[in-house]
Copies of this chain bind each other. A is one copy, B any other.
């Protein structure tokens, strides 16, 4: 279901992580009339002085002044806290979110991977947890400056019934900002369907040092992507959420039709940032392995990624 309405709404948002993802969606929420508070890291002073720029086919935006905070500041409570940090920071996530979460606060997790929502629910039983799976191509190009290239759909999936009730209001707020939205009934299914793309194309783009179009154009690249995707399908089935017939061919077809695209893990690798291997590869492997099933090619790719990630960051020091 794709909505594109401008239903009235009055949610306030705190965006944790003002990067390519958080900066873009925060900007769209502001454009849609929501109250938005940003938490940034290195860019706080810059954004306070110069504002936040987001160039986008949806219209270039220059937000100034912007309500922006350091994570150590006292930050007014919002109805919704959007998690836009890289999952490589998740060992600090609970501590960082703690001051922002009250009774009934809605945590909207925008990260890639598996099992993040379970950890948030365990740490914050007083909160309501919803996943927002982002299909977005945007880059941070400088301090307080984001370039949105293409896509942007957010697919909402609730952790539980309390979350399910909140999704219409979330959809209205994002939609008011021109963001395409949809909702999916099952969080595990939504997460595994996203992994079906992320596991092959993020990993291969790093290991083969190419964008998605080069993978799709090469006979071995395609077969490799299909081999990994088939193992992810086995993983999904093992976890009780099998893919529909036709899902994988459709995903390959969509990828084929995409403009040349550098997945986020490739951008992280090129910038010598830590790769999101833990939540995108290790956690899915762990969930499947708990149920007695192995995904050998995905395991091999995950190990190669850990190897190249370690050497990549060693060289950067």
Q: Which residues of A contact B (CB under 8 A)?
A: 207-208, 210, 214, 218, 220-221, 223-224, 227-228, 231, 296-297, 299-301, 303-304, 306-308, 310-311
Contacts and interface: CB of A to CB of B under 8 A. Distances in A.
B297 A224 contact: no
5 contacts: A221-B303, A221-B307, A224-B303, A224-B307, A297-B299
Contact of A227 (B210, B299, B307): B299
Contacts of A207: 207, 304
A96 to B, nearest CB: 28
Contact of A296 (B220, B221, B297): B297
Contact of A306 (B214, B220, B296, B300): B220
Contacts of A224: 300, 303-304, 307
A114 B205 CA distance: 31
Contacts of A227: 296, 299-300, 303
A278 to B, nearest CB: 13
Contacts of A307: 208, 218, 220-221, 224
A210 B231 CA distance: 28
A158 to B, nearest CB: 35
A223 B299 CA distance: 10
Copies in the complex: 2
A314 to B, nearest CB: 10
A300 B303 contact: no
A201 to B, nearest CB: 14
Contact of A301 (B218, B221, B231, B300): B300
A306 B219 CA distance: 9
A14 B307 CA distance: 44
A297 B231 CA distance: 11
Contacts of A301: 300
Contacts of A299: 227, 297
A299 B226 CA distance: 12
A208 B296 contact: no
Contact of A208 (B208, B210, B221, B308): B308
A199 to B, nearest CB: 12
A214 B299 CA distance: 20
A311 B300 CA distance: 22
Nearest to A223: B303
A72 B228 CA distance: 47
With most chain B CB atoms within 10 A of its CB, the pick from A208, A300, A301, A311 is: A300
A218 B310 contact: yes
A267 to B, nearest CB: 20
Contacts of A300: 224, 227-228, 296-297, 300-301
A293 to B, nearest CB: 13
A308 B304 CA distance: 15
A207 B308 CA distance: 10
A50 to B, nearest CB: 41
